[in-house]
């Protein structure tokens, strides 16, 4: 079974630039999550989708971050404009059910904002 795919794996941008990350979850998984993991910390949930609907985006900085999962499969997370403090690894995860049980993580995208 193929795992969660993410691209790119690494990205370096200057502050105030824009960036987008892509995630393809495990086939058939209804729930998709985006996490931000700052170095030395645990992952922090940014947004959770159930199929193509948003379940929880309470910790998403909506003034600069946006995410979509239009067809209920793959998803895109965008940051516009980026700030220095956005430097982190952005992890995508998926799970079969409605926000319960095991979450399967992708390899992540390491973002460096200079």
Partner 1 sequence: GQQVMQIPQYQHVQEGEDFTTYCNSSTTLSNIQWYKQRPGGHPVFLIQLVKSGEVKKQKRLTFQFGEAKKNSSLHITATQTTDVGTYFCAVGPDGSARQLTFGSGTQLTVLP
Quick one: 12 or 81, whose CB is closer to partner 1?
12
Quick one: 9 or 15, whose CB is closer to partner 1?
9
CB of residue 71 to partner 1, shortest distance in Å: 22
Number of helices (H), then strands (E), belonging to the chain: the values are 0, 11
Quick one: 81 or 107, whose CB is closer to partner 1?
107
Cβ neighbours, 10 Å, residue 48:
22
Quick one: 7 or 17, whose CB is closer to partner 1?
7
CB of residue 45 to partner 1, shortest distance in Å: 5
CB of residue 30 to partner 1, shortest distance in Å: 13
Applying CB under 8 A, which residues contact partner 1?
A: 33, 41-45, 48, 55-56, 58-59, 91, 93, 99-108
Report whether 113 contacts 84 (CB < 8 A).
yes
Q: For the purposes of burial, counting CB atoms within 10 Å of the CB of 91, is it exposed (0-12), middle (13-18) or buried (19 or more)?
A: buried
Report whether 20 contacts 85 (CB < 8 A).
no
């Amino acid at each position: 079974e193929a795992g969660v795919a993410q691209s790119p794996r690494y990205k370096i941008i200057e502050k105030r630039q824009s960036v987008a990350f892509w995630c393809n979850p495990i086939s058939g998984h209804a729930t998709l999550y985006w996490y931000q993991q700052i170095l030395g910390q645990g992952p922090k949930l940014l947004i959770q989708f159930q199929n193509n609907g948003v379940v929880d985006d309470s910790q998403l900085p909506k003034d600069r971050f946006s995410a979509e999962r239009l067809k209920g499969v793959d998803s895109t997370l965008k940051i516009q404009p980026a700030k220095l403090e956005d430097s982190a690894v952005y992890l995508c995860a998926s799970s079969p059910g409605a926000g319960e049980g095991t979450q399967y993580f992708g390899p992540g995208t390491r973002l460096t904002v200079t």
